[in-house]
Amino acid sequence: MTPALTDAERGFQRSRVTRLRRPPVWVATVVVVAVAAWVLFLADGAPAGAAVDDPGKFLVTVLDGVTFAGLLFVAASGFTLIFGLMRTVNMAHGSLFLLAAYVAIRVQEAMVGRSRNIDPADVGLLDWLVPLLAGAGVAAVLGLAIQQVFLQWNEGQEMRQTLLTLAITVVLADQMLREFGGLAQRVVWPGAVTHFFSIMGERYAVTRLVMLGIAVLVGVLLWLWLNRTSVGMVIRAGVDDRQMVRGLGINIRRVFALTFLVGSFLAGVGGVLGASFAGAAPGTDGSWLLNALVVVIIGGLGSLKGAAAGSLLYGTVVAFSPAYLPSQYSYYAIIMTFGLLALVLAVRPYGLFGRPA
């Protein structure tokens, strides 16, 4: 250990070291240009065909990517918020996501008055919004409880906190299987938004745009909260230098608790959106934890901007690779998604907007 070096100095030196070796930057540029050329002009053998030949399919794929990115952003924003301030990797994020979905499903079933084959026409706006708030609320309270009981007293021990939340995940997954069973369930979109419109001859669903709209709303509210309120400023200051915030006499514990509450609430909102979009079942928790991880690794842990950029990039790759890989390779689309990660990390080990911890 070298007490002579402060964290900041160390980070500075390290980033200088990284900057010195950056041949991957131009590699990444070449890859991006090549991919764009392929998608636009060359992709004849792909299921969707080259973009200049079939602009409708291209546009739909872009929309698919952007709208899915909205869902990804909601799911990842709480995760990155918590990490940014507290340096806690909340492995229970996926569990909170799934729990909120299950709670919302139960509430919606009770409100609509039936438990299976619910038709969107029978679902009013309130029958969706109330479950959303109920599910996210339960996730927020549980998240806060986890933070108060298991994380508050060992602040700063990142690995220990990570493993604690991991253990909680294992328990929660098992208990949710016991309570909610193993069958796939879903939250039903309200009838008011299950419409379609036509764009360049292709049909498109309003629900996907609703998803994107909610994501934008969440993003804007978060931005306002972090940039226009005093609490938000404390949080941002805490992201930069926790010691200093504490030194200023601010009760950072309360800020931590609040952040965890908001982060878990966002996980819950993501869960209800996700369950409306793709359903919920055992295993959904793991895959959404992974989605959130991928987004924040690409974007950089702890950065809201990074979460937005990471969601867009990840969503785009998810939408484009099955459509624009040559047909015989389309089975490898999902591997492509993670190839993106390797590419980003080769250029920027801490993600697009991240900084060394």
Partner 1 sequence: MSRLRRRASLALSVTAGLALLAAGCGGGDDDSTGLPADQQNAAGEGDGSPSGTGDGIRLGILGQCEGPFGGFHEDVVAGTTLALARFAGATPNSTTSALEGFSGAEVAGTPIELVGIGCGDDTADRIVQEVRRLVEQLGANVIIGPLSGDEGIAIAEYAKANPELTVFAGISGSQEQTLQVQAPNYFRFYGDGAIWSAGLGDLLHNQEGWDTVAVIADDYSFGHTSAAGFIADFCAVGGEVTHRVFPPLGTTDYSSYIAQLPNPDEVDGYFWAVGGTGTQAALEAFVNGKGDLTGDQHAGNLFFNPDLAQALGTDIAGAYVGGFATLPGDVRTPEIEEYLAAADETWETIPGSLSGNEPAPPSVAAAFGFFYGYYTAGVALVESLEAVGGDISDLDAFHEAIAGLTLDLPYGDISLDENRSGIVDVGLSRLVLDESGEVVQETVAIVPGVDQTFGGTFSPDTPSPGRDFPACEERDLPWVGNAIPVVDGVPQS
Partner 2 sequence: MNLRERVTGETLALAGLVLLLVLLPSLATAFFVNFVMTQTLILGLAAATIVFLARYGGMTSLAQLLMFGIAGFMFGNAALDGGARGLNLGWHPWAAVVFAIVVTTLVAFVLGAIASRTTGIYFLMLTLVYGVIGYFVFAQIVEISGPGGITSIQRPDLLGPPVRLYYAGLLLSVLAYVGFRAIRRTAFGLALQGVRDDPVRMASLGFNVPLHRALAFTLAGFAAGLAGLLNVWWNGQIDPASISIGPTLILLIIAVIGGISSLEGAWLGAFVYVLVFTYLRDLPLVDRIGITEARFNTVIGVIVLAIMVLSPEGLTGIARRLPVRTTRKELGGTRA
Residues at the interface with partner 2 (CB under 8 A): 1-2, 5, 10, 13-14, 17-18, 87, 89, 150, 154, 157-160, 162-164, 166-171, 173-175, 178, 286, 290, 293-294, 297, 301, 331-332, 334-335, 338, 341-342, 345-346, 349-350, 357
What minimum distance in Å lies between the beta carbon of 307 and partner 2? 14
Residue 115: name its binding partner from partner 1, partner 2, none (Cβ under 5 to 8 Å by kind). Answer: partner 1
The torsion angles phi and psi of 39, rounded to 5 degrees, stand at -65, -40
93-112 vs 126-146: helix crossing angle, rounded to 10? 150
CB of 5 or CB of 25, closer to partner 2: 5
CB of 232 or CB of 282, closer to partner 1: 282
Cα separation values, 253 from 82, 177, 256, 348, Å: 13, 33, 5, 32
The torsion angles phi and psi of 203, rounded to 5 degrees, stand at -85, 140
Phi-psi region of 298 (alpha: psi -120 to 50; beta: other; left: phi over 0): alpha
CB of 8 or CB of 36, closer to partner 1: 36
Residue 68: name its binding partner from partner 2, partner 1, none (Cβ under 5 to 8 Å by kind). Answer: partner 1
Cα separation values, 243 from 1, 89, 169, 301, Å: 20, 20, 30, 20
What minimum distance in Å lies between the beta carbon of 112 and partner 2? 31
Residue 342: name its binding partner from partner 1, partner 2, none (Cβ under 5 to 8 Å by kind). Answer: partner 2
Binding site for partner 1 (CB under 8 A): 47-48, 57, 60-61, 64, 68, 114-120, 174, 177-178, 180-186, 188, 196, 202-205, 207-208, 274, 277-284, 287, 291, 318-323, 330-331, 333-334
CB of 196 or CB of 331, closer to partner 2: 331
Residue 35: name its binding partner from partner 1, partner 2, none (Cβ under 5 to 8 Å by kind). Answer: none
CB of 188 or CB of 293, closer to partner 2: 293
Rg (CA), the chain: 21
Query: Which contiguous run of DSSP H or E holds residue 197?
Result: strand 196-199
Query: DSSP per residue over 217-233, as a string?
Result: HHHHHHHHHHHHSHHHH
CB of 150 or CB of 223, closer to partner 2: 150
* Contact call for residues 139 and 264 (beta carbons, < 8 A): yes
Q: How far is CA 249 from the centre of its chain?
A: 33
